[in-house]
Structure 1
Amino acid sequence: MPSADLLIPFFLASAVFACVPGPGMFYAAAQTLAAGRKAGWWSALGFHIAGLGHIAAAAFGVSALLAAVPALFTAMKLVGAAYLIWLGVRYLRGGRSSVPAPRRTPAPTALKALRDSVVVEALNPKSALFHLAFLPQFTDPAAGLPI
């Protein structure tokens, strides 16, 4: 079992990060407003499932790989930045649409909300980089089971 020197700061930092709203919380709120409480809960579950994927990647050494190969880390940051720029440009171009009246689309189903939230969180470069940078700080490489 990890020592208190690792566990106490980990739990304190995790509690602070859990209380800070982020894009996932806003997405789940939007799903709740659009499709109801059930879709909101499924959306929140999707974000947690994708977050576990980021945690597993950090636990299995992706952080060490990025530290050992700085060019890979730089490439990951550039791809993430390009993705965010693409989203922004797409948003700006879509905002100036000349369509007279948008059609009302049916509310998404709960399982669609789950699937979409998993995809949104799994492809979120900020979230991936956060997990890969945050979790390794609380490992002890000298331990038999450092994770």
Structure 2
Amino acid sequence: MNPNVHKTLVMQLQAGATERFPVLAHLSYDADDPFAVTAVFSHDGHVLARWRLDREMVLDGLHRPVGMGDVRFRPVSTGVWEELRMEFLGDARSDGERHHAVVFAWAPAVESFLRQTHEIVAPGQERIEVDHFLAEVIAEG
């Protein structure tokens, strides 16, 4: 079985109070990093942002509001359409404020991606090679 899952979704980036425009989100999962999902957002061939997300937090965000820091998720229902609202706070801007983005994803597509990751590493079965982890931490240090 392939220890990786990749899925590209069209999501909606909210610009301003109500306007949205489409962006591509390249989601990936690697069994060697079992707790994380990577999301790369792009538009017109340019990478807008790359986030490493907690897989369990993404799943929880489909059902209830989660997150208190730089990343927050919550379900949004329009009655017909089920979405995952993802809010990201980034680095400081020159005006002292922080970069801020809100992205909406079709919830069933995110759920499908997560189901594929669970087929590779089931929730609660995640393991990390401690020696490999320590080597990475020391190398980054």
TM-score scaled to structure 1, two decimals?
Answer: 0.30
Q: Which has the higher strand share?
A: 2
Q: Which has the higher helix share?
A: 1
TM-score scaled to structure 2, two decimals?
Answer: 0.31
Which protein has greater RCO, CA pairs closer than 8 Å, 6+ apart? 1
